[in-house]
Amino acid sequence: MILLGILAAAGTGTGTVSVAGYAAGGLSGSEVATTDKFAFPSDSRSTLGTGLSGVRQEPAGMSNSGVAGYSAGGYSGGALTTVDKFAFPGDSRTTLGTGLSSARTAAAGMSNAGVAGYTAGGGSTVDKFAFPSDSRTSLGTGLSPSRVALAGLSNTGVAGYAAGGNTVSNVDKFAFPSDSRTALAVGLSSARYGSAGMSDSGVAGYVAGGYTGSYVSTVDKFAFPSDSRTTLGTGISSNRYYITGISDSGVAGYAAGGFTGSYVSTVDKFVYPSDSRSTLGTGLSTNRRAAAGFQNGL
């Protein structure tokens, strides 16, 4: 875990402060490189002068709190291996010399802050990028089953989760640091894909919205460490899929953008621990779906 040198007034009590969340790329009729930044706790939005290194939709987001955020893979005329890295706090962008082990899109990102980031799915492969070197390996055990458009959840220091995708309800759990995989006995409340993953490290992970044959607003909550599942009484504000998940651990989770017959810019905020929902007055800078979500925070 990376310490920023100041104590959080609220949150997990680890001494790490969450600074901002990011929504990078996406599809708005055509692919975009736009990267929006939401400052915590005000939720004020700005747009980075330097977006992704190319236009793309469906990248996966990974986070190394206090150090960098990553956008991995995606689609722009074909599946990509590209991994862009945004250094915190200046948000300067570089592109890793070693990208994903294979070109793929609609994968999920999982993060073990200070240790490694993972890009899971877009197939069955799980690639692991060790921090701070960003060297890449691929786990011997990938997903079960192979799938795309899944949600990634992170309980940093403990486990990462790959939830749903391809209209399945499966939730795979990868224990840190061994990366051993188990499947939760209780998966999502419905088989779906295109959901957002939000994480409150040490407390719970959330899977919001998606597509089951129709767009849904459902939000499932998995309590850590038991992984028991409940479904929130209040879902996202509209039925939609290909939503971006952003997390301010100990404070709130955000479900940003998506598609519900048309592209939307809506950003819903779920306040922890009550899980009460509000909608930000300022959404994404453009209506779009399938951006990568990452954060400078737990």
Give the pLDDT confidence score for residue 93 in this predicted structure.
Answer: 98
pLDDT in tens, 189-212: 999 999 999 999 999 999 999 999
**Phi/psi of residue 249, nearest 5 degrees:** -55, 135
Q: Give the alpha-carbon dihedral of 202, 225, 215, 277, to 10 degrees.
A: -40
pLDDT in tens, 108-131: 999 999 999 999 999 999 999 999
Domain boundaries, the chain: 20-296
Count of helices and strands (H, E) across the chain: 0, 24
Q: What percent of the chain has pLDDT over 70?
A: 94
Question: Is the predicted pLDDT of residue 5 greater than 90, yes or no?
Answer: no
- With CA atoms as reference, report the closest residue to 293 among 125, 115, 152, 144: 152
pLDDT in tens, 44-73: 999 999 999 999 999 999 999 999 999 999
pTM reported for the whole predicted model: 0.94
Distances (CA, A) of 63 to 18, 132, 153: 12, 12, 12
Q: Which of the four CATH numbers 3.50.50.60, 3.30.70.20, 3.40.50.2300, 2.120.10.80 does domain 20-296 have?
A: 2.120.10.80
